[in-house]
């Protein structure tokens, strides 16, 4: 079933350190929040300290490749499933640094706290119609601006296209000697 442009589904993303091969799995409520998280993951959380992911990201942000997908779900279960799948991998940053629905110290929220956060986020004033409309418009513009990679033909947004071509992900990349 194709996704509608502007539909609101959870975005699951990975940030891969090209130098170490380690990766971080996260999720965001929509594309706008994904972009906000991408920009603030390296910021020090007062009283919490840095995680290994944040430390590496702040040390060399250019060595990270960010990828995301709209997974067609309205919950964070895709993120949780991926973290569970890679839980034993030495390359997963998330291990010991929290999980989706928890905090950066690795503590888990109680079911009562999760219910309260969910109720708070679903209040009408938390997502006013004008904000939703602005998000829909941003997603529509992003979806319409996709361009094919000149080397492999993969469709993507202009910002990701530059990273794709310069990075190691392009399958059609030719190595010049």
pLDDT digits (tens, 9 = 90+) for 127-151: 677 777 877 787 777 666 777 877 7
Q: Residue 144 to residues 95, 100, 127, 155: CA-CA distances in angstroms?
A: 37, 30, 24, 11
Q: How many domains does the chain have?
A: 1
Is residue 171 assigned to a domain? no
Q: What is the pLDDT of residue 45?
A: 57
- Angle between the 31-40 and 129-144 helix axes, to the nearest 10 degrees? 80
* 79 φ, ψ (degrees, to nearest 5): -60, -50
Is residue 2 assigned to a domain? no
Q: What is the pLDDT of residue 169?
A: 67
Is residue 173 assigned to a domain? no
Q: Does the predicted TM-score (pTM) go above 0.75?
A: no
Q: If pLDDT is split at 50, 70 and 90, which confidence band does 175 have?
A: very low
Query: Residue 3 is encoded by which pair of tokens?
Result: 């996704």
pLDDT in tens, 54-94: 888 888 888 999 998 887 777 888 888 888 888 888 888 88
Domain of residue 139, residue span: 11-166
Residues in contact with 40: Cβ distance below 8 Å, sequence separation at least 6, in sequence order: none
The C-alpha atoms of residue 104 and residue 164 are separated, in whole angstroms, by 29
Q: Which of 24, 35, 25, 27 is nearest to 10 (CA)?
A: 27
């Amino acid at each position: 079933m194709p996704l509608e442009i502007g539909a609101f589904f959870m975005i699951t993303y990975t940030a891969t350190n090209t130098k170490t091969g380690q990766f971080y799995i996260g999720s965001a409520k929509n594309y706008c929040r994904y972009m906000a998280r991408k920009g603030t993951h390296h910021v020090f959380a007062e009283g919490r300290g840095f995680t290994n992911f944040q430390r590496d990201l702040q040390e060399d942000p250019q060595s990270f490749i960010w990828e995301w997908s709209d997974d067609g779900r309205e919950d964070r279960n895709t993120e949780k499933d991926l973290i569970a799948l890679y839980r034993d991998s030495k390359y997963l940053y998330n291990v010991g640094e929290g999980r989706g629905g928890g905090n950066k110290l690795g503590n888990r929220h109680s079911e009562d706290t999760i219910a309260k956060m969910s109720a708070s986020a679903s209040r009408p004033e938390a997502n006013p119609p004008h904000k939703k409309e602005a998000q829909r418009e941003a997603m529509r513009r992003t979806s319409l601006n996709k361009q094919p990679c000149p080397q492999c033909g993969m469709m993507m947004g202009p910002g990701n296209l530059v990273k794709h071509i310069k990075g190691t992900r392009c399958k059609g990349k030719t190595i010049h000697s």
